[in-house]
A and B are shown apart, each in its own frame.
Chain A
Amino acid sequence: MLPAAALLDGADWPEWRGPARTGVSTETGLPDSWTPAGENLAWRAPYGGRSAPVVAGDRLYLQASTDPGPTQQERIMCFHADTGKLLWEYRYNVFTSDVPPHRVAWSSPLVDTATGNVIAISGNGLLMTLARDGKLLWERSLAEEFGMWTTHGGRMSSPILDGNQIVVSGLTFSWGQHAGGAHRYLSFDKTTGRTNWISAPEGRPTDTIYANPFVADVNGVRTMFSGGSDGAMHALKIATGQKIWSWPVSKRGLNTAALVVGPDVIVTHSEENVASSEMGMVAAMPADKRGDLTDKDARWIVRGVQAGYGSPVSDGERLYVVDNGGILFAFDVKTGRQLWTENLGTIQKSSPVLADGKLYVGTENGRFYIIRPHADRAEILDQDWLGSEASPEPIIAAPAVARGRIYVASMNAIYAIGPKMAPAGTPATAPARSAGTNGGAAGPATTLLVNPTELILKPGESVALTARAFDDKGQELANAGEATWTLENLKGTVANGRFTADAAPVAQAGLVKATVGSLTGEARIRVIPGLPWTFDFEDGRDVPPPHWANATGKFAVRDLDGSKVLVKLAENPFAFAKRCRPFFGGPEYSDYTIEADVRSMQRRRQMGDVGIVAQRYELVLFGNHERLELQPWQPETSRTVRADYKWNPDTWYTMKLEVQNMGGGKVRARGKVWPRGEAEPAAWTVERVDPVGSLKGSPGLYADAMNSSPTGGSEMYYDNIKVYPNKK
């Protein structure tokens, strides 16, 4: 380990688009030209993808996939920034997700330069903090704990670190008041991984998105800007997650980051405008607005420029934007007047960076450009194919500038463009974001948070909660004042912030509330006993158990043939989250068996898919395929075990899935199915020993109703669910 001071030495680019996320570096003497064959090339390493490299000290990090096949995983990789030598990698599984193998590792990691820790979120919503040596410090499984939905597209916003908190976002279907689908922002303490706040400022999601957040001080308010899944740009107080303003700009979700230039925030997109049949927009909105904004509030708006993937960059005078078709635009940032364009290619995803008076831009066509922008034109200093013209390497990630070099990741490789030896005494790279405090005396409290929130406790367990007060600018008060503590839908005791759950082995889900004066804050808490569990749905409720994540609203409890059963409703209000995996508890369970009775109906030649989940393994009966499948990672099909199984609609079957840790990282999963009421067959139908096993995970269900239609889609039914430790 190097001493902490060394970590901060030299030019850091610790986050996507740099320390302030502006895409600007103040380094000088950077290359005007290079060749992939070796001129001005410090090194090339054969790892790449969509994740942008970040650099802290002499280390470069990115996320990437491992090689395709039945042991494919996602990984966080650490390289020596001067040599390209792989120092370590941390591998982890992708599970209970629709993310296919070729779309993992979408987001970019970041480095906490104060500690050297690396923070990253995986393609299926595993939020992780690693020490500088690659050791896992903590993780949160957002899919299992928050019902985060991760899609086929792989889209995942990168985390941001501000002060002591990490903020991530995604479409979640959780429990209680958060059961309804919304694109939520989640704040975690960077040291403990505990949850600070959960915010849902957005309207109805139209898409899953990968807009990365941007943070700036706006008149003393620490403000996070984020493009929304609802097509609006949102400004939030990062201390509390509360909305300052929202500006609906598009009928589709946003994927570009905001950029604050002077008094304005730049907003771009490439889809349908709210009130124009012309697609795409580049615009400037005064950053210090409040409330629900409209186009009238904007400084300027240019329509028809489809800049929906690459985020903008500015030198303070001119704004540079590459549209989806690979055309580089220069605008006067104060007026929006278009100055010039330059055609760089045909497909664009990556964001440019501006350093040493030059734009460094990679295109998805695989060409990397060095461009000197002038007032009236673009001067192309250099252009190179990564790979070859015949077989180019697409560039999707944004470049990094650090240690006198430009680091570019293509889908195939990382290139360190610049001298082999890092220049001595390289000045600090870019205007860093200021620290996370606003300065000035705090005003009167307007918001109360109870921390930590979103906890899972065992019966009888107790936890110390803190009421935290914030003023209107999001500044925390030194003392929140004397709080009155109450419980909602929870049995137990609470006094002076210490909550002790009732000791009875009964699952609960509710709120611990703190009230100070007129302000109330709450911690969301679930109490879940240890195994075994049974769910027969005969307790008189017509809804699924309240402590399940991703179930309320998608399932109901109904009478079927004289028994109360769990019904997966055919209609799904969130069509792009069609496949549904409710989870019964946290991710810490291992070595257990789940059983359930299942049945499906047939509509329009179609029969739904129904299944059970244990320790991140899925056992699914496919209706239209008449097949039983055991799936460690559904879209990575080479590790799936299949067996044909003829089954009938409107008929009950019993499924059983047992998962056992075998040691050495190996896990055995095996499953069987038989007509309910018949004797259980002795043999397992499908079995897999997974060499890269998932060692723990929440029990849950799997449901995929076939297309809804005016005449109704197919429902699925579950009953007599049992989860118990494996029998010896």
Chain B
Amino acid sequence: MTTTTKALTAGLLVTACSLALLARSEPNGTDWPMWGGTADRNMVSGMKGLPTTWDVKTKKNVKWVVEVGSQTYGNPVISNGVVLVGTNNEAMKDPAVKGDKGILMAFRESDGQFLWQSVHDKLASGRANDWPFQGVCSSPLVENEIVYYVSNRGEVMAVDLHGFRDGGENDGPFKEEKQTRETDVDILWRYDMMEELGVSQHNMANSSPVAFENLIYVSTSNGQDESHVNVPSPKAPAIIALDKTTGKLVWEDASPGENILHGQWSSPAVGRIGDTMQVVIGQGDGYVRGFEAKTGEKLWEFDLNPKDSVWPKTRNEVISTPIILDNVVYIANGQDPEHGEGVGHLYAIDATKRGDITESGRIWHYGDIRRSISTGALYNGILFYSDFSGFLHALDAKTGKPFWKHDMFAAIWGSPMVIDGKVYLGDEDGDIAVLQADRTMKLIAENNMGSSVYSTPVPANGALFIVNRNQLFALADAGAPTASR
């Protein structure tokens, strides 16, 4: 970034925030700068004119498609004309970079042109901390043309959205980039959670960052070691807040301690609850917790499992990201897909309460859901929530009473996304179902992406972005003029 663009983006930041706030009513010129679109993580957009049908074979309504790695668990985010996605190195965008790596790739939004990539070596400690070929799993946050994400090495990264394409300037305090070509990453700062905090993430550090004012929040993914019994680093924090500008630690919390059941793969959400800005996150002991955003003071905790449940049969971890709406937190529990299917629990939690609010904060419980790793979408009083057994549930958000349930007949890793009154949802068979976001079930269309979809369809600026295992698609209605920025 140049000083000029910094000044400009300071202005843009305000604009971007306003746009985000307006997202649901004035949608079409809107970026999708983070997991969930906004800090409350609610998977809803009012964007109009997106296609409901397409064909990846005939390229009907396919604006462009690009190769990413062989496994892509990161969800795309779109900001200032750049699409970012975490993946692995199997696409070999840089012939000089060989072997298994974690990669954050940046593409031009207009035509899918590859711009630059951030390359992370795999950890020497191997799959206990950094599972082979899973790449960068974090969905970035873009603010002020700075990209924040967590690498497969457990580093919180702040990098320049435009890499070295902004006149080759090496922005930020970090100057140790080995290469400064147009296709390389320009790192602003880097915070190594293993090095600084003694974190031992289980299998993968995946957190999708979220920000409030000058702080950025991530889960550390601290967890068990490969024995699946021992938490090797019980005093390491589960959630941290870093200064957005300097990358310095501001607060940390290690509430789950030794009680982490497995890993910690939920990402934080931020919202105003009552008169308090809270960071809310699912944690490795099966609890969801709320923290005062500025200080990290723990405000409340809620056990998402019945007291008589037993890990791993009936007690679950939390992989879903909480969503925050009108002082209420909605979140389901579940388990690592490797563990298969099982019972799940979905709750609406009154987050204005304090202390252990497992009883006092429970607005409703829905037990007909199976294990879930999805994040919810609340639209028009209906909560859409999918589970790993392949069901999409539509519930009355006030009461938790089900309206309907739809069987996708394949495992669901991603999340339902409501766009312009329609639910988009992908599954492991590669199908994207499009359903009416209504109290009665209506399947509008089903489109196959050619290979498994582990991510969530994302709307931005009149296009729909979907990654399957190894390709990133930009879909747009060929008959309608694409909204221009």
**Which residues of A does B touch, CB under 8 Å?**
98, 100, 102, 151-152, 206-207, 251-252, 271-272, 277-279, 304, 325-327, 343, 346-347, 364-365, 391-392, 394, 571-572, 574-576, 578-579, 604-606, 609, 624-625, 634-635, 637, 704, 706-709, 711
Selected contact of B195 from candidates A151, A207, A271, A711, CB within 8 Å: A711
A272 CA to B133 CA in the complex, in Å? Answer: 8
- Whether B451 and A278, one on each chain, are in contact in the complex, defined by CB atoms closer than 8 angstroms, is yes
- Whether B197 and A706, one on each chain, are in contact in the complex, defined by CB atoms closer than 8 angstroms, is no
- Whether B226 and A605, one on each chain, are in contact in the complex, defined by CB atoms closer than 8 angstroms, is no
Selected contact of A277 from candidates B90, B125, B258, CB within 8 Å: B90
A151 CA to B227 CA in the complex, in Å? Answer: 7
- Whether A325 and B67, one on each chain, are in contact in the complex, defined by CB atoms closer than 8 angstroms, is no
- Pairs of residues from A and B, 8 with the lowest C-beta to C-beta distance, nearest first: A575-B126, A605-B198, A277-B90, A635-B229, A277-B70, A346-B411, A707-B125, A606-B198
User: Which residues of chain B come closer than 8 Å to A704, judged between CB atoms?
Assistant: 232
**B109 proximal to A (CB < 8 A):** no
Selected contact of B234 from candidates A625, A708, A711, CB within 8 Å: A625
- Whether B470 and A325, one on each chain, are in contact in the complex, defined by CB atoms closer than 8 angstroms, is no
A-B contact pairs, 17 of them (CB 8 A): A98-B226, A100-B227, A206-B132, A278-B451, A304-B451, A347-B411, A394-B341, A572-B125, A575-B127, A576-B127, A605-B235, A624-B233, A634-B227, A635-B228, A707-B194, A707-B200, A709-B125
User: Which residues of chain B come closer than 8 Å to A152, judged between CB atoms?
Assistant: 226-228
- Whether A706 and B233, one on each chain, are in contact in the complex, defined by CB atoms closer than 8 angstroms, is yes
B329 CB to nearest A CB, Å: 27
Judged by DSSP, the binding face of A is loop
User: Which residues of chain A come closer than 8 Å to B139, judged between CB atoms?
Assistant: none
Selected contact of A606 from candidates B132, B233, B409, CB within 8 Å: B233
User: Which residues of chain B come closer than 8 Å to A571, judged between CB atoms?
Assistant: 124
Closest to A253 in B: B132
**B268 proximal to A (CB < 8 A):** no
Closest to B195 in A: A604
B399 CB to nearest A CB, Å: 22
A347 CA to B411 CA in the complex, in Å? Answer: 8
List residues 131-159 of chain B with CB under 8 A from any CB of chain A: 132-133
- Whether B429 and A325, one on each chain, are in contact in the complex, defined by CB atoms closer than 8 angstroms, is yes
List residues 263-319 of chain B with CB under 8 A from any CB of chain A: 312
Assign chain B's interface to a size class: 35 or more
Selected contact of A624 from candidates B128, B197, B235, CB within 8 Å: B235
Given A277-B70, A277-B91, A279-B70: A708 touches B228 (CB 8 Å cut-off): no
A134 CA to B258 CA in the complex, in Å? Answer: 41
Selected contact of B452 from candidates A272, A325, A707, CB within 8 Å: A325
A562 CA to B341 CA in the complex, in Å? Answer: 57
Q: Which of A206, A279, A327, A391 has the most CB of B within 10 A?
A: A279
Given A304-B451, A346-B410, A708-B124: A252 touches B132 (CB 8 Å cut-off): yes
A692 CB to nearest B CB, Å: 19
**B71 proximal to A (CB < 8 A):** yes
Selected contact of A343 from candidates B100, B343, B409, B451, CB within 8 Å: B409
User: Which residues of chain B come closer than 8 Å to A251, judged between CB atoms?
Assistant: 100, 132-133
**B390 proximal to A (CB < 8 A):** yes
**B162 proximal to A (CB < 8 A):** no
User: Which residues of chain B come closer than 8 Å to A347, judged between CB atoms?
Assistant: 340-341, 411
User: Which residues of chain A come closer than 8 Å to B128, judged between CB atoms?
Assistant: 575-576, 578
**B129 proximal to A (CB < 8 A):** yes
* 13 further contact pairs, Cβ within 8 A, besides A100-B227, A578-B225: A152-B228, A206-B132, A207-B132, A278-B451, A343-B429, A571-B124, A605-B233, A605-B236, A635-B227, A635-B228, A704-B232, A708-B124, A709-B195
A711 CA to B390 CA in the complex, in Å? Answer: 44
Closest to A324 in B: B428
A371 CA to B312 CA in the complex, in Å? Answer: 33
A625 CA to B260 CA in the complex, in Å? Answer: 14
User: Which residues of chain A come closer than 8 Å to B67, judged between CB atoms?
Assistant: 277
A394 CA to B370 CA in the complex, in Å? Answer: 14
Given A272-B90, A606-B233: A325 touches B228 (CB 8 Å cut-off): no
- Whether A605 and B100, one on each chain, are in contact in the complex, defined by CB atoms closer than 8 angstroms, is no
**B322 proximal to A (CB < 8 A):** no
User: Which residues of chain B come closer than 8 Å to A707, judged between CB atoms?
Assistant: 123, 125, 129, 194, 200
User: Which residues of chain A come closer than 8 Å to B469, judged between CB atoms?
Assistant: 279
A691 CA to B341 CA in the complex, in Å? Answer: 35
User: Which residues of chain A come closer than 8 Å to B198, judged between CB atoms?
Assistant: 604-606, 624, 706
User: Which residues of chain B come closer than 8 Å to A391, judged between CB atoms?
Assistant: 343
User: Which residues of chain B come closer than 8 Å to A605, judged between CB atoms?
Assistant: 197-198, 233, 235-236
User: Which residues of chain B come closer than 8 Å to A271, judged between CB atoms?
Assistant: 133
B252 CB to nearest A CB, Å: 11
Closest to A99 in B: B227
A649 CB to nearest B CB, Å: 13
Closest to A271 in B: B133
User: Which residues of chain A come closer than 8 Å to B124, judged between CB atoms?
Assistant: 571, 575, 708-709
A234 CB to nearest B CB, Å: 20
**B389 proximal to A (CB < 8 A):** yes
Q: Produce 1/0 per residue, B387-417, CB < 8 A to A.
A: 0011000000000000000000111000000
- Whether B390 and A706, one on each chain, are in contact in the complex, defined by CB atoms closer than 8 angstroms, is no
Q: Which of B129, B232, B389, B451 has the most CB of A within 10 A?
A: B232
List residues 465-485 of chain B with CB under 8 A from any CB of chain A: 469-470
A278 CA to B340 CA in the complex, in Å? Answer: 23
List residues 101-139 of chain B with CB under 8 A from any CB of chain A: 123-129, 132-133
B79 CB to nearest A CB, Å: 26
List residues 311-357 of chain B with CB under 8 A from any CB of chain A: 312, 340-341, 343
Selected contact of A637 from candidates B194, B229, B428, B451, CB within 8 Å: B229
Given A279-B71, A325-B452: A100 touches B229 (CB 8 Å cut-off): yes
**B69 proximal to A (CB < 8 A):** yes
A660 CB to nearest B CB, Å: 27
B176 CB to nearest A CB, Å: 12
List residues 64-82 of chain B with CB under 8 A from any CB of chain A: 67, 69-71
User: Which residues of chain A come closer than 8 Å to B340, judged between CB atoms?
Assistant: 347, 364, 394
Closest to B225 in A: A578
A277 CB to nearest B CB, Å: 4
A218 CB to nearest B CB, Å: 32
User: Which residues of chain B come closer than 8 Å to A346, judged between CB atoms?
Assistant: 341, 389-390, 409-411, 428
A578 CA to B428 CA in the complex, in Å? Answer: 33
B98 CB to nearest A CB, Å: 12
Q: Which of A207, A346, A364, A392 has the most CB of B within 10 A?
A: A346
Selected contact of A102 from candidates B197, B312, B341, B428, CB within 8 Å: B312
A100 CA to B123 CA in the complex, in Å? Answer: 24
- Whether A576 and B429, one on each chain, are in contact in the complex, defined by CB atoms closer than 8 angstroms, is no
